[in-house]
Amino acid sequence: MPKKQLSQSAFLLITQFALGSLCLIIVSGALVRLTGSGLGCIDWPGCSQTRFVDVSTGHSAIEQINRLFTGVVSAAVVASALGSFFVKSRNRSMIWLSIGLVIGVLTQVLLGAVVVLTGLNPWSNMAHFLVSLVLVTMAVFLVEFAGTANVEGDSAISDQTTPIRQTTKLSANIILGLCGLAIILGTLVTGAGPHAGDENAIRLTLNLRSITRIHSATVLLCIAATLIFIAQMRRNISEWTRLRAELEIFLFVAVAQGGVGYLQYFAGVPAQLVAVHVVFAVAVWISVLRLWIKSRV
């Protein structure tokens, strides 16, 4: 009896759903913090010592929904892991990435416990967010492999024959590094800022104005590096054609993210704008990853 295989298109849909769920839980986690619901469930894994599920108050309901959505994320990454073994054009990269997602989600569950049991310590919150972005990173790569793997199981991300120049790869590395640094600095701003998830949660003892300026300067450097990169690309028709879409998308979301950041700062950091800022942070990271991937092939 022939071994059953998963079609490439079906596996792609599974990986895209996993990526989408990983992005959504970042946003839902941010909403928990922004609504002051971080300790809506004061225990773990149950919501309280007497109830595993508790929606008796608004805060507990918000935190509970976020916890329950973790089940959706877990199912999505497990489906990706299983699919990587049965997809027709499977390869080691897809298998290891999908297994990494399962391990990462389990790590996140444990980190979630640390966040609650330490009373929303900002360092644990920062780790929780950054590990989420690591998972998004792996999911982006998995989607790229799933969408471009050929029937022999090799990656064929690009059908271009002209190799990308080393200077172009270096520029993409610089932009990726600056973007990652800006996001890390952004978590420090969050850790020192007003939205702790609970009014009694401790904050980082950093000068909020200073760390915000450093974060902002890094964002501006990243955008400047991207503009220089675009100017260089336009002189090379082959590379410009290959990277134009990814460059323009990244520049758009990065500028939009910077604009939201300045707006929320001068508006007194309202929760609604912070939520938009989180959404754009995820979009920026995905777009810079796609740019980096496209520059390597």
Domain with 273, as residue range(s), is: 166-295
Which of 81, 113, 148 is the last residue in one of the domains? 148
Residue 161 lies in a domain: no
3 state SS for the chain? CCCCCECHHHHHHHHHHHHHHHHHHHHHHHHHHHCCCCCCCCCCCCCCCCCCCCCCCHHHHHHHHHHHHHHHHHHHHHHHHHHHHHECCCCHHHHHHHHHHHHHHHHHHHHHHHHHHCCCCHHHHHHHHHHHHHHHHHHHHHHHHHHHECCCCCECCCCCCCCCCHHHHHHHHHHHHHHHHHHHHHHHHHHHCCCCCCCCCCCCCCCHHHHHHHHHHHHHHHHHHHHHHHHHHCCCHHHHHHHHHHHHHHHHHHHHHHHHHHHHHHCCCCHHHHHHHHHHHHHHHHHHHHHHHHHCC
196 and 265 share one domain: yes
Q: How many domains does the chain have?
A: 2
What is the model's pLDDT at position 161?
A: 57
129 and 19 share one domain: yes
138 and 182 share one domain: no
28 and 137 share one domain: yes
107 and 212 share one domain: no
What is the model's pLDDT at position 160?
A: 52
Regions of the chain where pLDDT drops below 70: 1-4, 149-161
127 and 190 share one domain: no
What is the model's pLDDT at position 163?
A: 79
Which of 148, 178, 203 is the last residue in one of the domains? 148
What is the model's pLDDT at position 157?
A: 43
What is the model's pLDDT at position 59?
A: 86
Residue 160 lies in a domain: no
Residue 158 lies in a domain: no
What is the model's pLDDT at position 56?
A: 76
What is the model's pLDDT at position 57?
A: 84
